[in-house]
Structure 1
Amino acid sequence: MPKIKVRFFANFREFTKNNELEMEGNTVRDILEIICNEFQGMEKILFKDGNLQPYVNIFLNGENIPGLDKTLQTGDEIAIFPPVSGG
């Protein structure tokens, strides 16, 4: 199974108490399921009715990805962002 780095930002960082973690998984969905199992309550923040919340942004190697079934390779980096706003 590929080893990848997961980076957390803003309130996700506060919730997990981690800036980043190394994890193993075959797809982005696998990684998110592991995160939800490790951090109680994270599933409610990330998902609604089995779908990613519209305000959650998932980046793979710096690119926003449209789905969660993207296959991962060792060395990939996932970044999980909450909604971003500015003024």
Structure 2
Amino acid sequence: MTMAKIKLFANLRESAGESELEVQGETIQEILDTLLSKFPQLQEMVFNEIDGKKELRSYINILINGDNVMHLEGLDTIVNDDDEIAIFPPVSGG
């Protein structure tokens, strides 16, 4: 099983109480499933449920080694050992 480093930002980090952790999974979807089983309070922040099907919220950005997974294979993107996955909720600044 692949082990990847996850970095959480902004309100995801605050809600989970952790900024970095290691999670096992072969794809981004499996990584998210593992993450959300550990931190169920993140579920509604990351996914919408539409007609009984989970969909990634449009404003959530997931990067694997700096590349947006939506420009790769989406949630089916393969994860390799030592990959770094960053999950960004919407952020604003001034």
Q: Classify the TM-score, shorter chain.
A: over 0.9
* TM-score, normalised by the number of residues in structure 2: 0.87
CA-atom RMSD, angstroms?
Answer: 1.0
CA offsets, 1:12-36, max 9 Å, x none?
A: 1101111100111000000101111
* TM-score, normalised by the number of residues in structure 1: 0.93
2:68 corresponds to which residue?
Answer: 64
Task: Please say if 1:2 is aligned against 2:12.
Answer: no
Q: Mind listing any 5+ residue stretches in structure 1 that lack a counterpart?
A: none
User: What is the percent sequence identity of the aligned residues?
Assistant: 44
Moved over 3 A (4+): none
State the 1:65 CA deviation. 1.4
Structure 1: distance between partners of 2:10 and 2:93: 14
Whichever structure has more helix as a proportion of its residues is 2
State the 1:64 CA deviation. 1.2
Which of 52, 55, 80 aligns to 1:73? It is 80
Q: Mind listing any 5+ residue stretches in structure 2 that lack a counterpart?
A: none
How many residue pairs were aligned?
Answer: 87
